[in-house]
Structure 1
Amino acid sequence: MGASERIGRDLELVGSGEFAAACRRSPRDFTRRRKMPHDALVESIVCRKGRTLRIELRELGRELGMESPISAPGYLKQREKLDPAALAILMRHHAAQVYADGDAPTFRGMHVLAIDGSTANVPTNAATVAAYGGSSAKHGKVQAFCGLSAVYDVIARQVVGLEVTTGGFDERSFVAGHVERAREAMGGERFVVVMDRGYPSFPLPAWLSDNGVPYLMRSQQNFMNAEFARAAEAGGDAVCEFGFGYQRIASLRKREPEAFEALLSHEPIGVRCVLVDIGGETPEKLVTNLPASFTPDDLRELYHLRWGVETCFQMLKDRLQLENLTGTKPVLIEQDIYATAYLLNVAFDIANEADAAALAAGAPERYRHQMTVNRSFALGVVKDELLGMLLAGDDEREVIMAGIVEELRRCLAPVRRERSYPRDGVEGRYANRYSNTHKRVF
């Protein structure tokens, strides 16, 4: 199966009665076929290009063959009836199809899922500040911002789960939900969860071990000092018994009393502590429950793959302009965010197909570096062509898709490994209003 078939199955889902029910914020919503029913509404949100609403509706009306386009107030009124969770369902549906069709590559037989969080600025008003919170800027005014917690397959390049939450959220609290979403998407296929140093804590490794979740986490320098001292004595790799004595977890007693009581009676767990060199002044501490068959070099590469989730957030916020929102109400904001994540899944699915086509044609062999489809170009092309693909029949969509894949496989970019740049901040630099390195892709 290919991306074209998966888009067709996405459209079948959108047109189903089950999806229509998921769209309703109240029982009476979308019960009649009006000028903008739920399926056309969803397609319009996914295909929007961040222009003024009247221009967007003008193009949509022309593509749908409307005698007169829906008015902007009427469109927004319909949008307020749509539950953002429906667009999250659509996003996860596309990712799940990639796994069901067997088109998701793995690392040593395991899907690599990176969990991380970010934030996004949203319009500041009473509703958004109440829903997401805000922070005071230097001028004293409040800026509303929401939190984004994602689980992202860094090899298949699919957003498996995404949660929109308050700005100052606890990233660890979403791990259990992300694991559940991953299991729903992948069925019984094996995966490993990779997290950065903001995640290690006393309750989290215990929960992951109790639930049989393979994981790899980068530890803070002051975490599990005794265990990593034993690992250093053993040459940098040792399986240790990680206990939860009172003194060790005392800091949780007031902050997380339920977790404190649960850990106090918890049996010690086995953890593997590994010291690896990833280019810093001192070796980095990695905590995992992966077996010894995963060598320290494997773990180093596995942790390096985690950077893909950072690139995912960059693509969402920079290339796809996630913060360029339709409206100012939380319901509209969340619709736009989930629709942007769905578009990212579709664009990367098509780019993966173009990668395979380029490899089959032998194109990468002509280059010095490993080559891959330029993801920014892929996002721009898919954004331009998506509405036509959604409105086309199956045969016509196949033709459109073949043309896109052929175009993408000729637009390759080098993958330069082991590159790093100093984090010297912005001090002493002039900020250009129009950047040369972060151009819009649509």
Structure 2
Amino acid sequence: MKHSQNRTFMDIQKIKSNEFKVFCRSSNKNYFTRVRKMPLHDLLFTMINRKGLTLALELRNYMKIAHPGTSISKPGYLKQRMKLNPDAFLELYKYHNRNFYADSSFLTYKDHLILAADGSALNIPTTAETLELYGSTSRKTTKPQAQIGLGCIYDVMNRMILESDCNRVKFDEMRLAQRQLERIPETIGDIPFIIIMDRGYPSTPAFIHMMDKNIKFIVRLKRNDYKKEQNNMSENDQLVKIKFDMSRIRCHEGTMDGERMKELGEISLRMVKIPLENGNWEVLATNLSQSEFNTEEISELYHMRWEIETAYETLKSRLQIENFTGTKPILLLQDIYSTIYVSNLAEDIILDAERELDQKETNRKHKMMINQTVSIGILKNDLIYILIETDEQKKGILFQQIYEDISKNLVPVRPKRHYKRRKGKFAAKYSNTHKRAY
């Protein structure tokens, strides 16, 4: 049995367990106790199977496969959804992740997981309720667009979303990342990790907090961050002392952060200058020692951060995370977390297939990888048959068929290939290069 298959079947068992049913009751202990046309596990399966069609078609297609001859009305379905704890799928994908990292087959860089933190805005239905709860885009338009600020921590090598939180569209990314980092051990245990962050994250209190917690980090600095220290660098990779004078403490006066800065007086950060293709430099701050990771490795690690941008693109484009069931905030959160669960499930299966592919001896010119878009489409179309199957042997056969279909769809990896951007040119309503998977 494949590792991903075992984890998928464990997820299904959890969904059907009484313990999970209790967790799914948002506020009333009597929810999901009566025998209905669509019990709790069916309700959850419809969300995993969601393809962004009209709700009437989604329900028709699901009931036709799962319960032929039975139908359910949209009001009845939505009434059940309003009873569901929106954190149900958040709990489910974290359960899947814990099982993933309990296995020793995950990928690391010098025995470290490489994590990236970033946020992204999701367009949501614009109503008075969503505008008040989450806010809107800052762009000056005649009509506001409600948005949710989604903040995630992402394992860039194993392509797993470890933490996700929905916030107002304008939120403090660094403070959220600090809270999320404190929860990370609940998923990965004591596996060492390095967190990579972009220019929006640097802050002295954050650096102190991570160093106090022995969290390893690499953060890109803006030009004005520790400008004096950056200008005084005599080497491209050196340890720099950051002194906390009154100008740096003043804005934190009267807070715990300010008191901690006074107590320390200074900290030492390693600053690494990396040349860019345009002739400029990027400056990275880290607490990794030169004996652990050399300059080239620091540069390589930071540029792995781009994978979280790709992950957001997958959520928005291939998995259609912004294609919501309804307008109520509880439905929006359910759709977001269920989409993240499906993303992690797909990547788990793909990673299994890629690992098997790497073990095979081939004479191909390029290293091959699994086509992610096609894999997501296969999973969205066929997973439903595994979810509703009760016979374990048949369930295994169905999973193996999905796995084999996914393994056949390969694309070459061409490193350092670049294309000139043609944004706005040759635009068409239906792209030839980015077809939908479902």
Report the TM range for the smaller structure's normalisation.
over 0.9
The answer for the alignment partner of 2:299 in structure 1 is 300
The answer for the alignment partner of 1:241 in structure 2 is 241
Matched, 1:9 2:10: yes
Q: Distance in 1 between matches of 2:387 and 2:98?
A: 19
**Is this contact kept in 2: 1:151–1:159, CA < 8 A?**
yes
Instruction: Give the CA deviation at 1:366.
Output: 1.1
Matched, 1:440 2:436: yes
Matches within 5 A, 1:156-167: 156-167=158-169
The answer for the alignment partner of 2:381 in structure 1 is 384
The RMSD of aligned alpha carbons is 2.0
TM-score scaled by length of structure 1: 0.93
Instruction: Give the CA deviation at 1:251.
Output: 4.1
Q: 1:32 to 1:245 in 2, by over 3 A?
A: farther
The answer for the alignment partner of 1:317 in structure 2 is 316
Q: Distance in 2 between matches of 1:26 and 1:52?
A: 28
Number of equivalent positions: 434
Aligned to 1:41, the other structure's residue is in SS state helix
Instruction: Give the CA deviation at 1:280.
Output: 3.8
The answer for the alignment partner of 1:170 in structure 2 is 172
**Is this contact kept in 2: 1:14–1:39, CA < 8 A?**
yes
Q: Distance in 2 between matches of 1:136 and 1:247?
A: 31
Q: 1:289 aligns with which of 265, 277, 287?
A: 287
The answer for the alignment partner of 1:394 in structure 2 is 392
The answer for the alignment partner of 1:95 in structure 2 is 97
Q: Distance in 2 between matches of 1:245 and 1:61?
A: 67
Q: Distance in 2 between matches of 1:297 and 1:219?
A: 18
The answer for the alignment partner of 1:60 in structure 2 is 62
Letter in 1 for 2:378: V
**1:156-182 superposed Cα distances (whole Å, 9 cap, x missing partner):** 111111111111111112112221332
Matches within 5 A, 1:218-367: 218-230=220-232, 232-233=233-234, 235-252=235-252, 257=255, 259-292=257-290, 293-363=292-362, 365-367=363-365
Matched, 1:36 2:38: yes
Q: Distance in 2 between matches of 1:262 and 1:423?
A: 47
Instruction: Give the CA deviation at 1:424.
Output: 7.3
Q: 1:217 to 1:45 in 2, by over 3 A?
A: same
Matched, 1:209 2:191: no
Instruction: Give the CA deviation at 1:259.
Output: 3.5
**1:78-105 superposed Cα distances (whole Å, 9 cap, x missing partner):** 0011111111011111122111112211
Letter in 1 for 2:161: V
**1:368-415 superposed Cα distances (whole Å, 9 cap, x missing partner):** x32211111111111111111212243223222222222222222222
Q: Distance in 1 between matches of 2:150 and 2:138?
A: 20
**Is this contact kept in 2: 1:278–1:300, CA < 8 A?**
no
TM-score scaled by length of structure 2: 0.94
Aligned to 2:184, the other structure's residue is in SS state helix
**Is this contact kept in 1: 2:94–2:162, CA < 8 A?**
yes
The answer for the alignment partner of 1:185 in structure 2 is 187
Aligned to 1:250, the other structure's residue is in SS state helix
**Is this contact kept in 1: 2:178–2:206, CA < 8 A?**
no
Taking only the aligned residue pairs, the percentage that are identical comes to 36
Instruction: Give the CA deviation at 1:201.
Output: 1.2
Q: Distance in 2 between matches of 1:269 and 1:38?
A: 53
Instruction: Give the CA deviation at 1:252.
Output: 4.5
Matched, 1:71 2:73: yes
Q: 1:268 to 1:138 in 2, by over 3 A?
A: closer
Long gaps (5+) in structure 2? none
Q: Distance in 2 between matches of 1:312 and 1:269?
A: 34
Instruction: Give the CA deviation at 1:139.
Output: 4.4
Letter in 2 for 1:184: E
* Greater alpha carbon shift after TM alignment, 331-340 vs 130-139: 130-139
Aligned to 1:95, the other structure's residue is in SS state helix
The answer for the alignment partner of 1:199 in structure 2 is 201
Q: Distance in 1 between matches of 2:115 and 2:295?
A: 19
The answer for the alignment partner of 1:417 in structure 2 is 415
**Is this contact kept in 1: 2:26–2:86, CA < 8 A?**
no
Aligned to 1:112, the other structure's residue is in SS state strand
Instruction: Give the CA deviation at 1:430.
Output: 5.8
Q: Distance in 2 between matches of 1:64 and 1:16?
A: 19
Q: Distance in 2 between matches of 1:417 and 1:379?
A: 23
Matches within 5 A, 1:116-135: 116-135=118-137
Q: Distance in 2 between matches of 1:303 and 1:414?
A: 24
